[in-house]
């Protein structure tokens, strides 16, 4: 058994969040190591960044697998040998197999570029989110780091941060200003989990009857932090 806290990072884009995590691990900000990077696109910038640090990569294109069970087996084939403690989704554009989500319950996290539960759910990602936030007339936007469940963007919220929307912001300028905050929040969320300080707990009893946004359940679990 390894004494390291091992991360698997799923990424399909340029890999800026992956880069932030790699830097945090190498500088000791995180007492962890990135054991493997996986994604749907072998040509993604994230894979080039991983190769530059000699981190193994795994490509998982759904069309290459005959069944959902075969895809699930492919995930297990690299997660188990690398003794992965936490799966970090950082621009991974497909939903993980349900069996993997269940096997790694409360050990998968994701970053969303809005203040959930607003502007979340299936099909809400990246530039689409920033356009919708600005078009709504909201005065703040932000990011959310949350645990992953089988429902899109419905997992317990770990960290959120809001920043003001400027009068002259475009989706591109707002996204650029938000990105460093996403990286900081992601690293902090991983740090809390690595240190065993983020517990998933049941919500208070009164939440069951509370009105909530966008069909979200009032029974959504909460995250409580230890000192």
**Residue whose pair of structure tokens reads 């994701």 in the numeric block:** 110
Tell me yes or no: is domain 6-200 CATH 3.40.50.170: yes
∠ Cα 118 196 84 (to 5°): 85
For the chain, where are the E strands, in sequence order?
Answer: 6-10, 33-39, 57-59, 86-89, 108-112, 140-147, 157-164, 198-201, 222-225
What is the rounded distance in angstroms from the CA atom of residue 195 to the CA atom of residue 86? Answer: 12
- Predicted confidence at residue 143, as pLDDT, reads 98
d(C-alpha 203, C-alpha 219), whole Å: 6
H helices of 136-200, where? 171-194
Q: How many CB atoms lie within 10 A of CB 87?
A: 23
| Residue 145 pLDDT > 70 | yes
Domain ranges across the chain: 6-200
pLDDT of residue 166: 97
112 is a catalytic site residue? yes
> Among residues 82, 112, 122, 146, which one is catalytic?
112
- 13-34 pLDDT, tens digit each: 999 999 999 999 999 999 999 9
Q: Are 68 and 100 in contact (CB under 8 A)?
A: no
pLDDT digits (tens, 9 = 90+) for 77-135: 999 999 999 999 999 989 999 999 999 999 999 999 999 999 998 889 889 999 999 99
């Amino acid at each position: 058994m390894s004494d390291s806290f091992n991360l698997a990072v799923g990424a399909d884009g340029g890999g800026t969040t992956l880069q932030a995590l790699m830097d945090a691990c190498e500088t000791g900000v995180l007492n962890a190591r990135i054991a493997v990077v996986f994604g749907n696109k072998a040509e993604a910038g994230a894979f080039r960044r991983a190769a530059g640090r000699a981190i193994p990569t795994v490509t998982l294109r759904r069309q290459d697998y005959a069944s959902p069970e075969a895809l699930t087996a492919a995930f297990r084939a690299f997660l188990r040998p690398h003794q992965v403690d936490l799966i970090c989704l950082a621009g991974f554009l497909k939903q993980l197999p349900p069996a993997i989500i269940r096997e790694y319950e409360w050990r998968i996290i994701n970053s969303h570029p809005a203040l959930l539960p607003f502007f979340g759910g299936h099909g809400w990602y990246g530039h689409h989110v920033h356009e919708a936030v600005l078009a709504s007339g909201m005065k703040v936007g932000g990011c959310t780091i949350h645990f992953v469940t089988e429902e899109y963007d419905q997992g317990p919220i770990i960290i959120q941060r809001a920043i003001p929307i400027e009068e002259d912001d475009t989706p591109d300028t707002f996204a650029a200003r938000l990105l460093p905050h996403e990286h900081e929040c992601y690293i902090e969320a991983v740090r809390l989990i690595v240190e065993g300080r983020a517990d998933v707990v049941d919500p208070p009893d009164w939440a069951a009857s509370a009105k909530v946004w966008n069909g979200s359940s009032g029974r959504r679990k909460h995250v409580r932090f230890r000192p």
